[in-house]
Structures are given as C-alpha cells and as structure tokens.
Amino acid sequence: MSETRIEVGGAAPYEVVIGTGVLGELPGLLGGRARTVAVVHAEGLPEIARPVCGALERAGYAVHALPVPDGEAAKEAGVLAGLWSGFAALGMTRTDAVVGVGGGATTDLAGFAAASWLRGVPVVLVPTTLLGMVDAAVGGKTGINIPEGKNLVGAFHPPAGVLCDLATLVTMPREDYISGLAEIIKAGFIADPKILELIEADPGGAASPAGPATRELVERAVQVKADVVAADLRESGPREILNYGHTLAHAIEKAEDYRFRHGHAVAIGMVYAAELGRLAGRLPAAVVDRHRAVLSSVGLPTSYRADAWPGLRATMTIDKKSRGATLRFVVLDGVARPGLLEGPDEKLLAAAYREVSR
C-alpha cells in the first residue's frame, strides 16, 4: 500500500507521511539546503537510527548521530545542553538541520534543540512509537521537563516534516504500544467517533500493531491533530481541546517522577475529565461509562490512588492551561463536542477524583 500524506496547514505547512518502509521519503522532507544533519536518536534504537542515517548519507548529507537517553530521561536541561555542544562541534549553521528519531520524549527534545539552536533550524521528526506518531511529533510543540513539572520549558517550532514508518511499531513493547492508544482514543472522544467504533468493534486488534485497523487508527488520529493545530499553532484557542485528560495526567506523571507511562496517565485523566463533565451537568453518564469501557477494553487503566489527591491538586495549579489562579479543564458536552470548564469548585474537583480513586 502506498504512503498516505496528511498536510498540516498554517503559516509553515508541512506533511506527515504515513506508511510502511517509507524511509526513502526522508530526504524529500528535509530539502536540499542543508549540508550537515544531526540525527538525534534514543540510544536504545541504533537498529532504527542506522537506516535513517544511511538514507540521508545516500542523499549526500554529512550525517552525525547524537544518541540521547531513552524515554523521559532525555527531556532534561543537561541533555539539551549536551546537544547544543554537539551542534557547535559540528559547526551547524542556520541552514543545517536536525532529525529526531525515537519516541515522543526524543522528538520533543530534538524539536526544542532545533528551535533553540541559532534561534531555529529545520527539524524532521521520525517517531518510532505509536504515541510519537499520533501526538508528540505532530503540531510543533517542543520542550523539556524540570523538577517543577512536565513540558514547562519549550517552544512552538513546526517541523519541516514528519515520517511515520509503521514498521517500527512491530518492535514496540506491548505496554508501550497500548499506552499510545490513549491518545488515539482521545482523538475519538474529542473529534472523530469513528475511531471509537473501530476500537469497540475489535479491541484485541486495536491493541496490536498487526491489527487490521492500525493504519486507519493512526491516520485518523493524525488527521484530527492536523486539523486542530493548523487553526491554532500556539494553543491560544481551539488547540486546547487536544489537552483533554492531560491536566490530571501531567500531575500523575510528576507524582510518579515521570516513570508512569504518558498514555496510562492520559487514560485516567480522561475518565476524570469525563466525571467532571458529568458532575457539572454537561455530560451524560452513558458517555462516562463509554470512556471506561473503551479504555479498559484495550488494557488501559481508569483509576488511580485515592491518597494521591492532595499532591495532584497542588500540581494542577501550575498547569499550562491555567490562567492566573483559575484552573481550566477540557470537558465534553457529548462525543466530539469538546468545551472548557473554567474555575470549577474545589468540591467538584474532589468529587470527580473520588470517582476515579481506588
């Protein structure tokens, strides 16, 4: 089957190329101006980084691999500073480029390194995980974590292109793959109910990269994100809906010192947001039940520790969607009907958390 191309519009449009065995598309996304290309890759993925480097070398680029730690350990200031030093040693100019290869943490880091080097050089992202393909690599949000919270330091820097080679999904650990499904399910609840129907029809297939609907699920989730970010690059308006479930999710990740899978946290966060909507009189109970059913059918969690609430609530105070002292939550008024809940009462917040406690 040929590749699928999804355009992400806006002031700096680019393509997301989706298919199997599509590394040959990489030079075309990168363009012909660059001389030196720094390939930032997760150190645990040399078998994927090598063919990426090979495709670029055959196209005539001077290629240099810069490995970084796997997972969230990559998204630290010290690792970022190490990349800057690496770029300097390579003599990278404003027309040279970065290619980020790995999961969402690696592409977040590579994107921020590119955004901040010489105030911005081109970057092409090659996500190798389901989460990276449908969320982190699309949309131009880059960043790192600090002890006070996740993604609090970063920049908006749209890539020159995104290459999603579905063949890399086959090598993913099962739990990591299932974690990525949370962002696909999120896209279903906020914008594309067909996603939910595909998973409900075959949850076992959805939980496997070899499932019959895998490509369609990826394409639909990418299309949802492309449509939203094209209209709002800097998250000043409708893009906020992509944060459905993320306010509590980011607090859980911080509580777990970022050792908790992002998708697992988002799954719990979506159930929490659904309960908030129900208790606020905006969302029917049947839709809340559907959240739990769809998420649990593919093996995602829907509850968290009851004793964690005080710490989680304190962390949510510095959530990026807050405005001053006012908390803002993305909630639903129905499937594919997202909206905002601003300044909810503390009793409502606590009552919703009790519904997801164990």
Residues with a catalytic annotation lie at 119, 141, 183, 225, 235, 239, 243, 246, 250, 262
183 is in an annotated binding site: yes
∠ Cα 42 28 162 (to 5°): 45
Cβ-in-10-Å burial (0-12, 13-18, 19+) of 1 comes to exposed
User: Annotation-wise, does 262 bind a ligand?
Assistant: yes
Distances (CA, A) of 192 to 28, 172, 272: 30, 26, 20
d(CA 275, CA 194): 22
88 is in an annotated binding site: no
Confirm or deny that 28 is annotated as ligand binding: no
- On whether 150 is known to bind a ligand per the annotation, the reply is yes
Residue 339 annotated as binding site: no
Establish whether 264 is an annotated binding residue.
Answer: no
Backbone angles phi, psi at 136, to 5 degrees: -60, -40
**Separation CA 5–CA 27 (nearest Å):** 15
The residue assigned the tokens 């993925």 is 45
Known binding residue 194? Answer is: no
Confirm or deny that 108 is annotated as ligand binding.
Answer: yes
Q: Is 128 known as a binding-site position?
A: yes
| SS3 state at 250 | helix
Q: 72 among the known binding-site residues?
A: yes
Find out whether 193 and 103 touch, Cβ atoms under 8 Å: no
| Sequence-distant (≥ 6) Cβ neighbours of residue 194 within 8 angstroms | 188, 220
- Asked if residue 254 belongs to a known ligand binding site, the reply is no
- The phi, psi pair for 4, rounded to 5°, reads -105, 135
Residue 64 annotated as binding site: no
The annotation status of 70 as a binding-site residue, yes or no, is: yes
The answer to whether 4 is a known ligand-binding residue is no
Dump the DSSP string for 43-65: TT-HHHHHHHHHHHHHTT-EEEE
3-state secondary structure at position 279:
helix
Residue ranges for the binding site for Zn(2+)?
183, 246, 262
Residue ranges for the binding site?
70-75, 104-108, 128-129, 141, 150, 168-171, 183, 246, 262
Residue ranges for the binding site for NAD(+)?
70-75, 104-108, 128-129, 141, 150, 168-171
